[in-house]
């Protein structure tokens, strides 16, 4: 699978968004950025020091580090836009989170934006 993916979970956006945030809040290695319109970004960090630095970076610079995996929840599309090209610890945290998404909101359609194809079946085994 490529580095840029779109996940389309099953369910209502008004239910999915809060549950995504609730799950993210359980991990000190996931840093959130609320866009104020129901959408948000989650940045996946490999350790506490990176999470601390990323939290500070989001507050000052506004955008995430390019070396970290991240996803954005877009409720008007009921989709997660995922960048999975971060460093190893970040990829591990993202993989664990997306496995939960697949289990919690399945079946999910997964589109590989880099290859331009549906990888829903592959996503179950590749994560």
Dist CA 72 CA 89 (whole Å): 19
In this predicted structure, which of 5-19, 35-49, 108-122 has the lowest mean pLDDT?
108-122
Give residue-wise pLDDT tens across range 65-98: 899 999 999 999 999 999 999 999 999 999 999 9
The domain spans of the chain are 4-126
Give residue-wise pLDDT tens across range 22-67: 999 999 999 998 888 899 999 999 999 999 999 898 888 888 889 9
pLDDT at residue 122 tops 70? no
Confidence at residue 126, expressed as pLDDT on a 0 to 100 scale: 59
């Amino acid at each position: 699978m490529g580095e840029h993916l779109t996940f389309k979970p099953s369910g209502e956006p008004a239910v999915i968004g809060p549950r995504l945030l609730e799950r993210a809040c359980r991990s000190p290695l996931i840093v959130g950025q609320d866009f104020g319109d129901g959408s948000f970004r989650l940045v996946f960090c490999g350790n506490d020091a990176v999470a601390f630095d990323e939290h500070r970076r989001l507050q000052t610079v506004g955008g995430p580090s390019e070396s970290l995996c991240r996803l954005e929840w877009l409720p008007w599309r009921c989709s997660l836009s995922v960048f999975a090209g971060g460093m190893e610890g970040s990829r591990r945290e993202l993989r664990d989170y997306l496995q939960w998404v697949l289990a919690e909101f399945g079946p999910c359609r997964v589109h590989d934006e880099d290859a331009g194809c549906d990888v829903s079946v592959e996503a179950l085994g590749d994560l």
